[in-house]
């Protein structure tokens, strides 16, 4: 299983146009991410039509640059891995069509891969750590998903639970909006919370005892109620909070509630399933207090990707592509995008 590979990865599932070259699923040779976040910030979230149009304009130079920075041509690549889903349909097809075109022209194998699965494999891209041992307990926390996954072997998963409503990242984004902070909300809340008291407001924690599921919509509503209670005069327009709103305390108290549940349920699941290690991945895993709490409160080794690989990137797509390639996956050139594609049943 130690065969050497060099995989080109392509990612366009949401608002990042990304390409990367990765060797043997571990070594990032080049990694380019063209983020559209600034563009979408003015809409307060991702505007799908704008996202796909920008992907079309950006994909070719990004892929060309990733190859150029790696000092390789397609002749030195073993396979092209591309995000097939889940994600925005109009965005996914841009990366998929680019990958199909390159595969057709070069004769290289095409590998359509699952974006959530790739987030888990982003934790493999830390070269100085030994390869993790199974079973692993994976927490995926992104803008669209919050899932607890038991990984029993390479490419083998059991989904233990998921959010019943908002994803963790979505909750960060929505609460940031309530507080008048910029999109993407996660980093904005983390920064605001640094000057806040996390015990200032006691927001609810949805433990959903007896399940491995999550729920964040009640927490979001509790923050909304508190914002309105603090500023009754702007009840109709909470998206433009006025002066005097204790933004730092609200952000810190909200963030503490999210972290407590994420860490508590992850630790309980790791114990219940006798995991050897914990993986935390996805955009929200960039959250520093979450990373620290996971490590501090864990009896298990915890792996989180380096910050630049937490949010969407193509290195993780290529890392997963390595394992899929070795497992013999070869996709036909007419595969469709899969906007809804659960990682495991
Ligand atoms: O994985 P990702 O880049 O895209 C999806 O696959 O969804 O995750 C994006 C999400 C956004 O909701 C963003 O607010 C959140 O990750 N995020 C963070 C932080 N950085 C990004 N949330 C909390 N703290 C952060 N530092
Ligand atoms: Zn993602």
For residue 234, pLDDT beyond 80: no
Which ligand is closest in space to the CA of residue 15?
Answer: 1
224 in Cβ contact with 211 (< 8 Å)? no
Nearest atom within ligand 1 for CA of residue 143: 7
Which ligand is closest in space to the CA of residue 304?
Answer: 1
Kindly report the three-state secondary structure assignment for every residue of 47-93.
Answer: CHHHHHHHHHHHHHHHHHHHHHHCCCCHHHCCEEEEEEECCCHHHHH
pLDDT in tens, 20-52: 999 999 999 999 999 988 888 888 888 998 999
Is the CA virtual torsion 141, 228, 251, 173 positive or negative?
Answer: positive
pLDDT in tens, 163-209: 999 999 999 999 999 999 998 999 999 999 999 999 999 999 999 99
This prediction's pTM? 0.96
DSSP strand E in the chain: where? Answer: 6-11, 16-23, 27-35, 79-85, 110-114, 136-141, 146-153, 156-162, 277-281, 302-303
Provide the domain count of the chain: 2
Residue nearest to atom 22 of ligand 1 (CA): 186
On whether both 299 and 317 belong to a single domain, the answer is: no
Q: Hey, what are 344's tokens?
A: 């495991």
Residue nearest to atom 14 of ligand 1 (CA): 186
CA distance 103 to 80: 7
On whether both 67 and 211 belong to a single domain, the answer is: no
Domain of 149, CATH number, reads 3.30.420.40
213 φ, ψ to 5°?
-85, 165
- Whether the CB of 87 sits within 6 Å of ligand 1: no
Best mutation site among 284, 313, 317 for ligand 1, i.e. most ligand atoms within 8 A of its Cβ?
284
Block residue for tokens 């083998």 = 156
pLDDT in tens, 191-204: 999 999 999 999 99
Block residue for tokens 């990865």 = 9
83 in Cβ contact with 113 (< 8 Å)? yes
Residue 1 lies in a domain: no
- Whether the CB of 305 sits within 6 Å of ligand 1: no
Domain range holding 17?
6-126+309-326
- Whether the CB of 144 sits within 6 Å of ligand 1: yes
On whether both 164 and 285 belong to a single domain, the answer is: yes
């Amino acid at each position: 299983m130690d065969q050497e590979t060099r995989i080109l990865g392509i990612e366009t599932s949401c608002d990042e146009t990304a390409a990367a070259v990765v060797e043997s699923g571990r070594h990032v040779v080049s990694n380019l991410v063209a983020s559209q976040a600034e563009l979408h910030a003015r809409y307060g979230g991702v505007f799908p039509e704008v996202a796909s149009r920008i992907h079309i304009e950006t994909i070719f130079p990004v892929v060309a640059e990733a190859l150029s920075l790696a000092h390789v041509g397609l002749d030195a690549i073993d396979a092209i891995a591309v995000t097939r889903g889940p994600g925005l349909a109009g965005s996914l097809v841009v990366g998929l069509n680019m990958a199909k075109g390159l595969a057709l022209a070069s004769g290289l194998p095409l590998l359509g891969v699952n974006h959530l699965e790739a987030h888990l494999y982003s934790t493999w891209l830390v070269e100085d750590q030994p390869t993790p041992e199974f079973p692993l307990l994976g927490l995926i926390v992104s803008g669209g998903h919050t899932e607890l996954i038991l990984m029993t072997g390479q490419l083998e998963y059991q989904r233990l639970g998921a959010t019943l409503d908002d994803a963790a990242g979505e909750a960060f984004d929505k609460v940031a909006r309530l507080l008048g902070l910029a999109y993407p909300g996660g980093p904005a809340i983390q920064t605001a919370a640094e000057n806040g008291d996390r015990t200032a407001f006691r927001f609810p924690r949805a433990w959903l005892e007896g399940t491995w599921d999550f729920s964040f919509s009640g927490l979001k509503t509790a923050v909304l109620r508190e914002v309105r209670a603090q500023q009754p005069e702007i009840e109709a327009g909470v998206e433009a909070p006025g002066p005097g709103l204790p933004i730092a305390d609200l952000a810190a108290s909200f963030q503490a509630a999210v972290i407590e549940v994420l860490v508590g349920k992850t630790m309980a699941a790791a114990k219940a399933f006798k995991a050897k290690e914990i993986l935390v991945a996805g955009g929200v895993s960039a959250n520093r207090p979450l990373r620290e709490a996971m490590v501090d409160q864990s009896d298990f080794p915890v792996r989180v990707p380096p910050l630049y690989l937490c949010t969407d990137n193509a290195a993780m797509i290529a890392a997963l592509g390595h394992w899929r390639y070795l497992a013999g996956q070869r996709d036909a050139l007419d595969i469709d995008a899969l906007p809804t594609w659960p990682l495991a049943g």
